[in-house]
Amino acid sequence: MADVIDEAPDAVTLRLQLEEPGGFLPGQYYNVRLEVAERQRPVQRAYSVGSSPVPDPSVIDLGVREVPGGLLSPRLVGFRTGQCLEVRGPYGRFTWTGEEAGPVLLVGAGSGLVPLMSMVRHAVHRGRSDPVWLICSAATYDHAFYRDELAGLADMHRWLRLVHCITRDPTEERADYHRRVDKAVLSECLGETRPARAYLCGPPAMVESVAAALVDLGVGPAVIATEKYD
Ligand SMILES: Cc1cc2nc3c(=O)[nH]c(=O)nc-3n(C[C@H](O)[C@H](O)[C@H](O)COP(=O)(O)OP(=O)(O)OC[C@H]3O[C@@H](n4cnc5c(N)ncnc54)[C@H](O)[C@@H]3O)c2cc1C
């Protein structure tokens, strides 16, 4: 049974109480299956978990952004509290174990922020002190997932360095940059520091260009983990 929480004009969090909780790691996803009139078989899509497995892994928050013209995401964004959803998982190797010592870089665009939020929430629970840069790319500030919670966490925890790249609102004063994440943004944010781990999530083109920029800046490909939402 889902609780529905508005995240943005085109996005929700679906909070689910799992009937058979198996535990998950930050960064993993579940497959959601739904019957739709247009198809004979249930349609299945992947959605990442935005919540932390600590303290309660039996409750998962899935963050869903509506893809216009899509089969499943508009239906999920239109979900009402109390409706039931079939999920299977967790899956995926884009994971944060909690042992990530040293500086960490997280870069997410659009709904790509969802698994990164699970990592940040988990790091808060574990009492992290090493720096974490979280670079969020969104069309407008109001489209950025978790913007209020993240602003509060960044105020509270010096290790969390929050950066907003706002791509379609040049007047937005809360933006750190009014463009996409590029090599200059990464270089300015990181300064002389090179992350011990980097996690990149979102549209394939963004993930690939940020990974290439990081390698140009001297980050070893082996420490860069990617999740592409194709
Ligand atoms: C590992 C993983 C994790 C993910 N996590 C998340 C997450 O946390 N949050 C999230 O919001 N998304 C996530 N996604 C993306 C998600 O799984 C879906 O791909 C997304 O929601 C779109 O699904 P849909 O059914 O709405 O769209 P689809 O029906 O799959 O359509 C996608 C696009 O293709 C177009 N299209 C469809 N059919 C046609 C056609 N015949 N001709 C031309 N164009 C067509 C649609 O208009 C739409 O623009 C994740 C993906 C992966 C792989």
pLDDT in tens, 76-120: 999 988 888 999 999 999 999 877 789 999 999 999 999 999 999
CA of 130 to the centre of ligand 1 (A): 35
pLDDT in tens, 144-192: 999 999 999 999 999 999 999 999 999 999 999 999 999 999 999 999 9
Q: Looking at the predicted structure, is the pLDDT value of residue 121 above 90?
A: yes
pLDDT in tens, 178-228: 999 999 999 999 999 999 999 999 999 999 999 999 999 999 999 999 999
Q: Distance between CA atoms of 164 and 137, rounded to whole angstroms?
A: 6
Q: Please name the amino acid found at residue 67.
A: V
pLDDT in tens, 32-67: 999 998 899 999 999 999 999 999 999 999 999 999
Residues in the chain: 230
For residue 62, the tally of other CB atoms under 10 A from its CB is 24
- At residue 94, the pLDDT reads 98
Answer whether 2-91 and 104-228 agree in fold.
no
Fold of 104-228: Rossmann fold (3.40.50)
Q: Which residues line ligand 1 (CB under 6 A)?
A: 29, 45-48, 63-65, 67, 69-73, 92, 111, 114, 227, 229
Contact 122, 52 (CB under 8 A): yes
Give the side-chain half-sphere CA count within 13 A for 163. Answer: 24
What is the pTM (predicted TM-score) of this model? Answer: 0.97
For the domain spanning 2-91, the CATH number is 2.40.30.10
Q: Which residues pair with 87 in a beta bridge?
A: 32
Q: Which ligand 1 atom sits nearest the alpha carbon of residue 64?
A: 11
Residue boundaries of the structural domains of the chain: 2-91, 104-228
Of 108, 146, 119, 118, which Cα lies nearest the Cα of 229? 108
